[in-house]
Amino acid sequence: MAADLVAALARRGITEPFPVQAATLPDAIAGRDVCGKARTGSGKTLAFGLPLLMRARRSEPKRPCALVLVPTRELASQIVDNLAPLAESRRLRIAPVVGGVSLFSQRQRLRVGVDIVVATPGRLHDLLERGDASVDDVRMVVLDEADQMADFGFLPQVRRILDRIPVRPQTLLFSATLDGEVDALVKRYQREPVFHEVVPEEDAGETMLHRFLGVSDEEKVRVTAAIAAGPERTLLFVRTQRSADRLARQLEREGIEAGVLHGGLSQPRRERALKAFADGTAPVLVATNIAARGIHVDGVDIVVHHDPPEDVKTYLHRSGRTARAGASGMVVTLVSPEQVGDVNLLRRQAGVREAIVPVDAGDPRLADLAAWTPPLEEHRPQPAKTARPAGARAAARRPRPERAPASIANRGGEGQRGGARRGQRSGAGRSRPR
């Protein structure tokens, strides 16, 4: 590791690597392709950011030498914020290239010169097509959250971008899963990659508490308000942009001021909402699934699935916004009567044994969810079955109001528009050659 970067990290109080950093840095610095399997919040930014900074050089206008592709604008901005001070110490220029902001300003920035571009695939592809950027000089590529880029349907754009690079670059890929389309990406664009899977010594499941609360439709918002009224930083998930805006208004009527984060907002509004949530100015945030991948905030105490997720992968991803980096956290799922069967299936697939407990808005247990323990249920072995969206069985029997759509498997309902405390996690990295 370069001595100047070690010193810069020490000034920020970073003296020991996280497990994913300890596992992957030696290979990445040595110039090998790396494929890392690690959950979000594990310290991946520095795991790929430090090798990037060591290999990057001053580049020509419109011709960056290093490229980071990510699924969301928020994640791009946070990567830039984390790496910018280190880049400045090396006189390197790093900038985000994302949708939702002025195309003209990004074109101007590229014309001046950017050494490391952190981009969402759609906006970068547009700039390449316009001739406002070139990847001809790119010698290092990072694909972060590759599984989520696959889920969002971004991989065709990712492939078109990578196919433009004339000389095969060093490629670092990080993902929570390495199957399906991500595996195809590894085989096509990585050369004899070294695989690392980071397994924490203390599984996050042991620091993540789960509560499933049975609520009536009439009580649902008031129960949410009772949970969000405490001093904890609370993140609320809903399925659609319209639901996010509506829940924020309903909470305001209950005396709870909540920010909103979804794909229908302009980038400046999204950044303001996320900043207010991160610094504690607005400790309650309502978000949709598509926006969720960009929420990398330490110290989220409670995650509430106000609308139950459509599948177990979404449940685990949403829930992973808390209990990060060794901290503890609470995950709450609100369950309407018609959603009980589907949520029980979701619990079995997630391996969560806590039973559904009926509550109402006046229940004193809502004031301290960690102070009581729900009954545990033994899960009987089930035949392989795909989880159906919560409430889907009821939707097949009778018409449903717009408040709970019959089909919710559209990646958080954003459709065409959406395009508990900080701590050191301990763990071990495992590597194997391909």
CATH number at residue 230: 3.40.50.300
Structural domains counted in the chain: 2
Q: Measured between alpha carbons, how far is 228 from 283 in angstroms, rounded to an integer?
A: 9
Q: Give me the pLDDT at residue 293, please.
A: 63
Residue 17 lies in a domain: yes
Residue 344 lies in a domain: yes
CB-CB contact of 42 with 92 (8 Å): no
Reported as a single tens digit per residue, the pLDDT across 228-278 is 998 889 999 999 999 999 999 999 999 999 999 998 888 888 889 988 998
- Say if residue 8 is in the same domain as residue 152: yes
Of 200, 225, 248, the residue that ends a domain is: 200
Q: How many beta carbons lie within 10 A of that of residue 417, not counting itself?
A: 12
User: What is the token pair recorded at 2?
Assistant: 């370069």
Q: How many beta carbons lie within 10 A of that of residue 183, not counting itself?
A: 14
Residue 415 lies in a domain: no
Q: Give me the pLDDT at residue 199, please.
A: 62
Q: Measured between alpha carbons, how far is 391 from 341 in angstroms, rounded to an integer?
A: 8
DSSP state of 424: P
Residue 237 lies in a domain: yes
Q: How many beta carbons lie within 10 A of that of residue 305, not counting itself?
A: 24
Give percent of the chain above pLDDT 90: 64
Q: Which residue has the higher pLDDT, 154 or 178?
A: 154
Residue whose tokens read 């990712």: 158
The CA-CA-CA angle for residues 79, 80, 84, to 5°, reads: 125
User: What is the token pair recorded at 398?
Assistant: 């009778």
The CA-CA-CA angle for residues 313, 391, 229, to 5°, reads: 75
Residue 142's Cβ-side half-sphere holds a number of Cα atoms within 13 Å equal to 30
Residue 421 lies in a domain: no
Of 200, 226, 246, the residue that ends a domain is: 200
Predicted TM-score (pTM) of the model is 0.72
Based on the number of CB atoms within 10 Å of its own CB, is 279 exposed (0-12), middle (13-18) or buried (19 or more)?
Answer: exposed
Q: Which residue has the higher pLDDT, 304 or 415?
A: 304
427-433/194-200 β-pairing: antiparallel
Q: Which residue has the higher pLDDT, 139 or 298?
A: 139
Q: Under the phi-then-psi rule, with left for phi > 0, alpha for psi from -120 to 50, and beta for the rest, what region is 93?
A: beta
AA letter at 392: A
CB-CB contact of 367 with 227 (8 Å): no
- Say if residue 326 is in the same domain as residue 230: yes
The residue range of the domain holding 61 is: 3-200
Q: Measured between alpha carbons, how far is 313 from 310 in angstroms, rounded to an integer?
A: 9
Of 200, 230, 254, the residue that ends a domain is: 200
Q: Give me the pLDDT at residue 422, please.
A: 34
Reported as a single tens digit per residue, the pLDDT across 349-380 is 999 999 999 999 999 999 999 999 999 987 65
Residue 232 lies in a domain: yes
Buried b (16+ CB within 10 A) or exposed e, 365-394: ebeebeeeebeeeeeeeeeeeebbbbbbeb
Q: Measured between alpha carbons, how far is 271 from 107 in angstroms, rounded to an integer?
A: 21
- Say if residue 219 is in the same domain as residue 157: no
Reported as a single tens digit per residue, the pLDDT across 72-131 is 888 899 899 999 999 999 999 999 999 988 899 999 999 999 999 999 999 999 999 999
- Say if residue 70 is in the same domain as residue 192: yes
- Say if residue 164 is in the same domain as residue 148: yes
**Nearest-10 Cα torsion for 254, 259, 263, 266:** 130
User: What is the token pair recorded at 193?
Assistant: 């990659």
- Say if residue 190 is in the same domain as residue 210: no
The DSSP annotation for 220-232 comes to HHHHHHHHHTSSS
- Say if residue 212 is in the same domain as residue 322: yes
- Say if residue 299 is in the same domain as residue 335: yes
Residue 287 lies in a domain: yes
Residue 420 lies in a domain: no
Q: Measured between alpha carbons, how far is 232 from 329 in angstroms, rounded to an integer?
A: 10
CB-CB contact of 49 with 82 (8 Å): yes
How far CA 177 is from CA of 20, 147, 183, in Å, comes to 15, 6, 9
- Say if residue 185 is in the same domain as residue 209: no
SS (H, E, C) 111-148: HHCCCEEEECHHHHHHHHHHCCCCCCCCCEEEECCHHH
- Say if residue 286 is in the same domain as residue 191: no
Q: Measured between alpha carbons, how far is 285 from 330 in angstroms, rounded to an integer?
A: 15
CB-CB contact of 170 with 194 (8 Å): no
66-69/356-358 β-pairing: unpaired
Q: Give me the pLDDT at residue 178, please.
A: 83
CB-CB contact of 288 with 241 (8 Å): yes
- Say if residue 321 is in the same domain as residue 367: yes
- Say if residue 188 is in the same domain as residue 265: no
Which stretches of 13-120 are DSSP H helices?
19-29, 44-55, 73-89, 103-112
